[in-house]
Amino acid sequence: MKKETKIYIAGHRGMVGSAIWRALEAKGYTNLMGKSSKELDLRNQAAVKDFYATEQPEVVIDAAARVGGILANNSYPYQFLMENLQIQNNLIDGAHQSGIGKFIFLGSSCIYPKLAPQPLKEEYLLTSSLEPTNEWYAIAKITGVKACEAIRKQFDKDYISLMPTNLYGPFDNFDLETSHVLPAMIRKFHEAKESGNAAVELWGSGTPMREFLHVEDMADVVVFALENEFQDNLYNVGTGVDLTIKELAELIQQTVGHEGEIIWDSSKPDGTPRKLMDVSKMADAGWKAKIKLADGIKDTYQWFLENIDSFKQVKI
């Protein structure tokens, strides 16, 4: 991969896309491009085709998606299914039709069945039912994985899918209505601390187990995938280490300095009992995560404090 290769990063202003941009710049790549949603509506097939024809990127990294936690997925199932299908299908098919030979598709660990054996292996895909609270998003992402696999199989193009575990870090979404669990906890504990260490109410029982990957590690593996050719089409990306939601809450509480009570609302859904990624396939390819969770949470909380008046808000 030459440093002047023209690389289009879809979703370059998001948490993941911006981290990829920074990582590529740091590695000396000089021909990066991105378009805001106002400049290019990725849901519009004709607009995406015109973009490819005009700009002619050589590589596409798809970090664009409508994302959110359990509440957002439950509240807007149609948008989470249809908009993600539109975005990724336009990007994938447009790239293929334009003759682009390398495409990196970013998905999510939610593509795997709710009760799949742990840790989650790539071959568990489509072996059982999905978690109902985010199946709309998962179905869309599975379609993207299979589209890239089909292009790879039929046309022998280097289209690869990376499935990260739960991502977090600078530029995350801290909107309590649409955010994921880790940034939501950071905001809740911070605001409770500022309110005299008020009690913090959290969803579920605290017993489900989750794995978290810092977004800078995610960006690092994308660069690794860009600079290497993999033998297969689907790779898990994570740390291979998880913890309970209760343990996560206590770690964030300690990092923030909140000294109040934690109340668990067991009437709210827990989601999938466990989602630990088997990352041995990616390790065999030559990449492992580097950032420890405690260090990553400190880093993310510091960013939150520095940007507390302007952090990203996702509007439905």
Domain boundaries, the chain: 7-173+211-242+275-291
Would you say residue 313 has pLDDT above 50?
no
What is the pLDDT, as a whole number, of residue 245? 97
Positive or negative torsion for Cα 195, 198, 201, 207: positive
CATH number of the domain located at residue range(s) 7-173+211-242+275-291 in this protein = 3.40.50.720
Residue 108 annotated as lining a ligand binding site: yes
Three-state SS for 196?
Answer: coil
245-259: pLDDT as tens digits: 999 999 999 999 999
Q: What percent of the chain has pLDDT over 70?
A: 98
What is the pLDDT, as a whole number, of residue 75? 85
Which structure tokens are listed for 234? 């689907």
Residue 188 annotated as lining a ligand binding site: yes
Residue 274 annotated as lining a ligand binding site: no
What is the pLDDT, as a whole number, of residue 314? 41
Instruction: Indicate yes or no: pTM above 0.95.
Output: no
Among 58-62, 124-128, 179-183, name the one with the lowest average pLDDT.
179-183
Residue 14 annotated as lining a ligand binding site: yes
Strands (E), the chain: 7-10, 32-33, 59-62, 102-106, 158-164, 166-168, 200-203, 209-210, 212-214, 234-237, 243-244, 262-265, 274-275
Residue 187 annotated as lining a ligand binding site: no
Residue 50 annotated as lining a ligand binding site: no
Strands (E), 136-207: 158-164, 166-168, 200-203
Residue 165 annotated as lining a ligand binding site: yes
Would you say residue 278 has pLDDT above 60?
yes
Residue 144 annotated as lining a ligand binding site: no
**Residues known to be catalytic:** 137
138-165: pLDDT as tens digits: 999 999 999 999 999 999 999 999 999 9
Which structure tokens are listed for 263? 């109340």
- Better-scored residue on pLDDT, 234 or 179: 234
Model confidence at 316, pLDDT cuts 50, 70, 90, reads very low
Q: Angle, nearest 10°, between helix axes 77-97 and 135-155?
A: 10
The rounded distance, in Å, linking the Cα atoms of 190 and 254 is: 11
Among 98-102, 108-112, 210-214, 217-221, name the one with the lowest average pLDDT.
108-112
194-233: pLDDT as tens digits: 999 999 999 999 999 999 999 999 999 999 999 999 999 9
Model confidence at 299, pLDDT cuts 50, 70, 90, reads very high
25-57: pLDDT as tens digits: 999 999 999 999 999 999 999 999 999 999 999
Q: Which residue has the tokens 């993600």?
A: 84
Q: What percent of the chain has pLDDT over 90?
A: 85
Would you put residue 196 in left (φ > 0), alpha (ψ -120 to 50) or beta? Answer: left
User: How much is the average pLDDT of 52-76?
Assistant: 89
Three-state SS for 205?
Answer: coil
The rounded distance, in Å, linking the Cα atoms of 246 and 305 is: 23
Model confidence at 134, pLDDT cuts 50, 70, 90, reads confident
Residue 106 annotated as lining a ligand binding site: yes
CB 184 within 8 A of CB 69: yes
Residue 176 annotated as lining a ligand binding site: no
Mean pLDDT of the chain: 94
